Amino acid sequence: MTVVSDTGPLIALAKANQLRLLEQLFGQIHVPPAVRRGLLAKSGPEAPRLDDALAHFIAVAPVAQLPPEVEVATSGLDAGEQEAVALAYERKTLLVIDDFLGRVAARRLGLSITGVVGLLIRAKEAALVPAVCPLLGELRRQGYWLSDELLDAAAKLAGED
C-alpha cells in the first residue's frame, strides 16, 4: 500500500530513528515537492536519516492542479500540508499528517488519516516495535510537540496505561 505523508510525521520518525517503520508498514511513501523541500531543509541529526529515506523508499510525486474543493478545504495551510492533502485526495489513499488544521482539511475532504501516534500503534500491532510510549517520550525529548492528553490517549490505545 502506498501512502502520502506530510512533513511533520517524517521528521518525528527520523528524530526517533524509526523512519523504516513506514517502509515496513506501507512499502513506499509518496510526498509532494513542497514536503520534499521541507525535509531537505532540515539540518539536525535527523537530516541524514531523511536523506537516506528519500533515496530508498520515499518518492516525490507531483501534484496536479488543485480541484476547487481541495483549494477551499486547504486554504490557509502551508504549501507542504496543502500539497500533501491534495496528493492524498488525488490518489484516494491514506494521509499521514499530524498538523491539526491539515487533519481538519483532510477530514473535510473525506480522507483517511493517521499521525505519528497512529503509526507507532500500528507498528506495535505488527510487532515491529515492543512499545509505543518510550518512542513517544523520545520524540518529546527531541522537541516534537505532543500534548499530555495525546500521550495519555496513546498509552490507552497501545495498552500501555
Report the candidate in 116, 88, 113 with the shortest Cα–Cα distance to residue 101: 113
* Domains in the chain, number: 1
Note the pLDDT of residue 86: 96
Residues in Cβ contact with 15 at an 8 Å cutoff, skipping those fewer than 6 apart: 44, 45, 46, 138, 139, 142, 143, 144
- pTM comes to 0.93
- Answer whether residue 150 is part of any domain: no
- Answer whether residue 86 is part of any domain: yes
- Answer whether residue 20 is part of any domain: yes
Domain with 86, as residue range(s), is: 3-116
Residues 79, 56: Cα–Cα separation, whole Å:
24
Q: What is the CATH number of the domain that holds 91?
A: 3.40.50.1010
- Answer whether residue 88 is part of any domain: yes
pLDDT tens sequence across 94-142: 999 999 999 999 999 999 999 999 999 999 999 999 999 999 999 999 8
